[in-house]
Structure 1
Amino acid sequence: MHWSEIADFSAKAGDIKVVWEISRFSWAVVFARAWRISGDVRYLHAMQHWMEDWWRSNPPNTGPNWMCGQEASIRLINALLALRMTGLEKNVGAGLVGFVEAHCRRIALTTLYAVAQDNNHGTSEAAGLFVGGSWLARFGAGDPRSRGQRWAEKGRKLLNKRVRRLILPDGSFSQHSLTYHRMLLDTLSVAEAWRRYVGETLFAEDFYTRAAAATRWLGAMIDSTSGDGPNLGANDGAHPYRLDVSAYRDFRPCLQLASLLFIGSGALESGPWDESARWLGVPAKGHARPWLNDLSSAVFPDGGYVVIRNTTGAQVVLRAPTARFRPAHADALHVDFWWKGKNLLRDGGSYSYADGDVVTTAFASAVGHNTQQFDDRDQMRRLGRFLYGDWVRVIGEPAITTGAEGQSWAGSYTDIWGVRHRRTLILRDKAVSVLDEAQGFKRKAVLRWRLAPGNWSQNETGCTSSMGRIHVKSSVPIRRMSLESGWESRHYLEKSAVPVLEVEIDQSPAVLTTTVTPF
């Protein structure tokens, strides 16, 4: 069956990502690493056998593995990376040339669709064309070589344009997601390392400027102790280039590689996060000392993020959407709170794109975030599986203020129903306070605090556990305060229960003040 006849979403077939994941060829790079480390030829033979078997079982443009140009790009890049790592990239035969050409043709066919998405489809497919085309241009002959040169040039131009549009000056990415931001940076890093390897000319100047900004953005978001970061936005398990042994939610290898390539020095001191750079032939020593631990509080006005940190190990991340690109989640004014590597107040994640039940929908809604929900509505109208209308835009202070009470920031939005929500953050040495001012709601407002799993117990003013204390006070009578059970998804297609403190009021206007004191 031609790929165009296959439905993207089918209750009978299930989540298409499960089918696609194994065909991304991430395993090829793992086999290549295993052979290089151990010298055991069984890994090399397994890699070759699996690649040949896939090629026989998936004729070009037939079946679900050819449906998506981004999937073809990831597969092509991983295949060529694995061959490079095993020294087989120069073993040019008709089968390998056919494999690369078929993938380049498939990618080139739908680049207009990829560009229209304003997301990582465009960057991935541009990189796929550049990597595949430049391989043909260097190692191919005759017509395949000529076609490779054209594909490589198309990929280069498209990648320059996509980076210029999708990475904002402050380093924010169009998709407002930490895991997609990693995928973006890994894609740019692989493309740049490949460019150096094949001796292609530099990308555009602003490609490097924006890539460096995106690298610093990632550094500002993650917790340097654990390598983890806020579970912001869509999280579909994307981590296609497995060049290291780190856990899925450890973002340090991505950060270190991008920093070495685009900033010229490591973000961190040398460690296991250097492995990706070594496999790609990128020197692990830069011209300057590591910079990650020197970061201070910052506002990212283009993408809409506020990061407040101090020297006691506290970090607060707030989401302040700017409505420049389509939102995947209704997370306006969501707050993440980290304390010495522990994510005390946390985001819910995504769970699944294909499962359309109430639980899955709630992950992306206001219910799945640390913010207020008004009159049982979402912050925006949902128009489709991946689409909201009436985008919320937060108007906030341009900078973080430092005063006697600590560091503070405030911002607000008004939704299409006329409800105004203003949130003020104050980070002190060993506590964070959140002031929520709300007016214009008709029946009720529910404030939710999604907590780290633990032994939380409710009391008259909030809740407490061995990890910390949450105290809530209100300018109007509190109608209900209860410790509920909610869901979070740290990994795609996995969900687990988390405690959620809910505070409900029914009078407008009102001010709720929450103080979180970690232990």
Structure 2
Amino acid sequence: MGKIFYYLKKAKSMPPDALCAKIANKILNLTKNKIQKLRDISGDTRIKFNVSPVRISYINLCELDVSNINLDVARYLSKMYLEHKFDLLGSGWVKNSYDSAALGLEGYKYDMNAATPASALEGYEPIDWQKDFKSGFRWSEKKWYKDQRIAHKPGSDIKVPWELARFQHLPQLAIFAMADPSLKEQNLKEFKNQILDFISNNPPRIGVNWTCTMDVGIRVANMLAAYDMLCQIDEGRILDADFKQTFSNSVYEHALHIVNNLEYSPHLTSNHYLSDIAGLLFACAYLDGGGETDAWLAFAVQEIISEMKKEFYEDGGNFESSTSYHRLSGELMAYSTALILGLKSEKISSLQNYDAKLWRKKPKLLPPDEQEFKILNGQIALPQWFVDRLYKIGRFTADIIKPNGEVPQFGDNDSGRFFKFSPNGEFLSNEQAAQKYLNLSGFEGGNEPFWDENILNHSALISCMGGIFDDEIFKNGFCFERSFIRSLAGRKLQAIDKTYKSQVASGVKFSELPYRKSVEFKITSSQEIKNIFYPDSGIFIFKSSKFYLALCATPLGQNGHGGHTHNDKLGYELWIEGRDIARDPGTYLYTPLPGRRNEFRSIRAHNAPIVEDLEQNSWGEGIAGLFGMLAECRCFVTDFGENFISLAAEYKGIKIMRKFEIKEDRLVVTDTANREFYYSKFELYSNGYGKLTKNV
């Protein structure tokens, strides 16, 4: 009943014509799906022709700076990838093969190993692309892609095979080979074998790795980035003509799949759709031109610009109300912008002459003379508002970073990235890793070290912006990302509007609230502390080299859908002189354990005042309820100054005000409410998807 009530409430919030259109579209899609499924299951889903082999290169190796790549890490990760060991979404460094044993997830463990398929690849052991190697659950490699159930069994996580099949480790193989030439031959062979392994065992529209178009888009972009770099160092022609043809056909199949499976809705597009478009952009930039692919390319450029306006506020923050999804979408925007700027002359020419009628999907492809981008002197000119907002995306990340280099975890964190070029983390022993992370209980990795990735360090995104803009705030030690972006774009952009949004809207102040509590934190001095406000994003920062305070008053997110929002309004992260005093607990998991998902996004997991365990925003039951909330809480600023700010939240008859005041030697947090309230101490903490530790 709860699920039905949730859908009914959502339906009532939609205009009647929009609701009718959605129902009609659903019926039409069901009919089309039945026809397509019959065709796919009964025959070969691969294209029946050869596309022109990919010959275009957008990456100038001479411009790439690998000086920040630690050679010990490069050799370690290359070794792991060659042994098919991956640490993804809290798995620990474990081997993924058809006969590998799983550690299990909170007591859920499955033995669903299958026979290893025959392989023509000499000395190569195939990867099991359909398996969640955390729980051992395995999706069917014979099922149609739309029939794959996301939440199948307790503990099973479809994100694990999806994450592996994003191929984000393949560009690293290329980067490591450039940093250490002794790795070149083995990494080239491994790239070739993994690509052929995937293509052989994942035909289009069959199996789990075509279910989510977002992952298809990220995968093809990573395939192409790795291919571009590796082809240039392949003196021994390991990547022969037959491989290049097979690879190029697959790139086209990825592009075709994206076109036919866009995660688009006229009511809401998000990071999924943006990933679709970014992947399509990369595929079309590398594929030979023609009527069809020219229209696809024009559509991708059009939609990158359109999504900037939809998904990023004027202050630069992302509309998902999540600092981690801001990084993902920011990377998608930065790399896509760089590629658009660096498109080859024949591609730029096609953007002036494409036939818009060849695009038959929604949304509509505009004709060349109606596009927001222009062609000036043989180069693409992006709208100035787009350039300014891209700059502010980078500045937002630079501003919210703590002195320890990490970001606050407001909203969801699924560890999502577009590219993962520079390794970022530290070496632990396997014993230390098992002691640190509760999810690795029982993990035995032998005597080799354990590379622990730092998911919360977003320096790579800042470095990306340094490849597009000349600004001191974007300079850091991550040299590769900056050089890669610079190589793609071939030129810099100039932001004109760099101003912060000066207007911070203040809501109506509550009358005297009878219930009151306060807490104080000692600080050394308040003299160097400055405030940085992001009113659209609902994040307010006070920081210095020894003090950091981030306050959460984020909107529900996704235009009121709340797919990646937590009940964290009035919550805060506090860091003083090298110590985390208060921090958001993170996310941990999505669909494998719905109870955990709801636990981590509940108000009880956050350091906000709680009244009778009432949630700020309610959610529905079932899978749909895991990625949406009902808009029930209003959060706003009531007053602010140089050294203080007062925030308020109102929901379900509850009124709460929280004032943060920085005095000479202390921070004072004062809460008042119209009903009795209490605070909860949440014992768990997740610094990345699937990772679980004890809270401070």
> If the TM-score is normalised by the length of the shorter chain, which range does it land in?
0.7 to 0.9
Are 1:258 and 2:465 counterparts? yes
Q: CA deviation at 1:202?
A: 3.7
Distance 1:164 1:269, change over 3 A: closer
> Residue 80 of structure 2 aligns with which residue?
none
Please give the alpha-carbon distance, in whole angstroms, between the structure 2 residues aligned to 1:286 and 1:246: 27
Are 1:63 and 2:219 counterparts? no
> Residue 297 of structure 2 aligns with which residue?
152
Q: Is the 8 A contact 1:119 1:166 kept in 2?
A: yes
Distance 1:431 1:87, change over 3 A: farther
Letter in 2 for 1:21: E
Q: CA deviation at 1:269?
A: 4.3
Q: Is the 8 A contact 1:265 1:285 kept in 2?
A: no
Q: CA deviation at 1:341?
A: 4.4
Q: CA deviation at 1:313?
A: 1.8
Please give the alpha-carbon distance, in whole angstroms, between the structure 2 residues aligned to 1:119 and 1:104: 19
- TM-score, normalized by length of structure 1? 0.79
* Mapping 1:243-392, distance limit 5 Å: 243-247=421-425, 248-261=455-468, 263-271=469-477, 273-282=478-487, 296-309=530-543, 311=544, 313-323=546-556, 324-327=559-562, 328-383=565-620, 384-392=625-633
> Residue 679 of structure 2 aligns with which residue?
447
> Residue 242 of structure 1 aligns with which residue?
420
The alignment partner of 1:321 has SS state of coil
The alignment partner of 2:327 has SS state of helix
Are 1:411 and 2:617 counterparts? no
Letter in 2 for 1:314: F
Q: CA deviation at 1:264?
A: 2.6
Q: CA deviation at 1:111?
A: 2.2
Residue range with higher mean Cα deviation, 9-18 or 294-303:
294-303
What's the CA shift string for 1:240-279, capped at 9, x where partnerless?
4111122322111211212431x332425452x1221223
Letter in 1 for 2:173: F
Q: CA deviation at 1:75?
A: 0.1
Kindly indicate which of the two structures has a greater share of residues assigned to strand.
1
Distance 1:390 1:193, change over 3 A: closer
Q: Is the 8 A contact 2:597 2:626 kept in 1?
A: no
Q: Is the 8 A contact 2:467 2:484 kept in 1?
A: no
Distance 1:339 1:19, change over 3 A: same
- From 148, 165, 177, give the equivalent of 1:6: 148
> Residue 505 of structure 1 aligns with which residue?
none
- Gaps of at least 5 residues in structure 2 are 1-142, 234-238, 349-379, 426-454, 500-527
Distance 1:59 1:88, change over 3 A: farther
Please give the alpha-carbon distance, in whole angstroms, between the structure 2 residues aligned to 1:270 and 1:287: 19
The alignment partner of 2:473 has SS state of coil
Distance 1:19 1:301, change over 3 A: same
What's the CA shift string for 1:95-143, capped at 9, x where partnerless?
223211111111122325366543211221111111111211xxx26xx
Please give the alpha-carbon distance, in whole angstroms, between the structure 1 residues aligned to 2:491 and 2:606: 38
> Residue 27 of structure 1 aligns with which residue?
169
Are 1:98 and 2:223 counterparts? no
Distance 1:214 1:430, change over 3 A: farther
Please give the alpha-carbon distance, in whole angstroms, between the structure 1 residues aligned to 2:664 and 2:337: 41
> Residue 306 of structure 2 aligns with which residue?
161
> Residue 388 of structure 2 aligns with which residue?
209
Q: Is the 8 A contact 2:529 2:542 kept in 1?
A: no
What's the CA shift string for 1:306-351, capped at 9, x where partnerless?
1122x45212111113344433211111111122443321001111
The alignment partner of 1:52 has SS state of helix
Distance 1:264 1:249, change over 3 A: same
Percent identity between matched residues is: 20
Residue range with higher mean Cα deviation, 205-214 or 182-191:
205-214
Tell which has more relative contact order, 1 or 2 (C-alpha 8 A, sep 6+).
2
The alignment partner of 2:695 has SS state of strand
The alignment partner of 1:118 has SS state of coil
> Residue 506 of structure 1 aligns with which residue?
none
Distance 1:102 1:284, change over 3 A: closer
Please give the alpha-carbon distance, in whole angstroms, between the structure 2 residues aligned to 1:110 and 1:379: 35
Letter in 2 for 1:219: A
> Residue 439 of structure 2 aligns with which residue?
none
Residue range with higher mean Cα deviation, 312-321 or 344-353:
312-321
The alignment partner of 2:540 has SS state of strand
Please give the alpha-carbon distance, in whole angstroms, between the structure 2 residues aligned to 1:169 and 1:79: 33
- From 615, 618, 635, give the equivalent of 1:394: 635
Q: CA deviation at 1:286?
A: 10
> Residue 120 of structure 1 aligns with which residue?
271
Please give the alpha-carbon distance, in whole angstroms, between the structure 2 residues aligned to 1:411 and 1:427: 15
Distance 1:159 1:268, change over 3 A: closer
Q: Is the 8 A contact 1:274 1:284 kept in 2?
A: no
Please give the alpha-carbon distance, in whole angstroms, between the structure 1 residues aligned to 2:151 and 2:410: 24
Q: Is the 8 A contact 1:122 1:159 kept in 2?
A: no
Please give the alpha-carbon distance, in whole angstroms, between the structure 2 residues aligned to 1:280 and 1:45: 26
Please give the alpha-carbon distance, in whole angstroms, between the structure 2 residues aligned to 1:166 and 1:321: 14
Q: Is the 8 A contact 1:352 1:493 kept in 2?
A: yes
Letter in 1 for 2:251: V
Please give the alpha-carbon distance, in whole angstroms, between the structure 1 residues aligned to 2:175 and 2:265: 31
Please give the alpha-carbon distance, in whole angstroms, between the structure 2 residues aligned to 1:91 and 1:152: 28
The alignment partner of 1:230 has SS state of coil
Please give the alpha-carbon distance, in whole angstroms, between the structure 1 residues aligned to 2:278 and 2:683: 39
- Gaps of at least 5 residues in structure 1 are 449-483, 500-519
Q: CA RMSD in A?
A: 2.9
Letter in 2 for 1:409: I
What's the CA shift string for 1:435-484, capped at 9, x where partnerless?
11111x3xx52224xxxxxxxxxxxxxxxxxxxxxxxxxxxxxxxxxxx5
Distance 1:391 1:170, change over 3 A: farther
Letter in 2 for 1:352: L
Distance 1:206 1:99, change over 3 A: farther
Please give the alpha-carbon distance, in whole angstroms, between the structure 2 residues aligned to 1:255 and 1:374: 39
Q: Is the 8 A contact 2:301 2:340 kept in 1?
A: no
The alignment partner of 2:575 has SS state of strand
Distance 1:94 1:391, change over 3 A: farther
The alignment partner of 1:394 has SS state of strand
- From 221, 228, 239, give the equivalent of 2:406: 228
Would you say how many aligned residue pairs link Structure 1 and Structure 2? 443
Q: CA deviation at 1:203?
A: 3.7
Q: Is the 8 A contact 1:373 1:379 kept in 2?
A: no
> Residue 497 of structure 1 aligns with which residue?
694
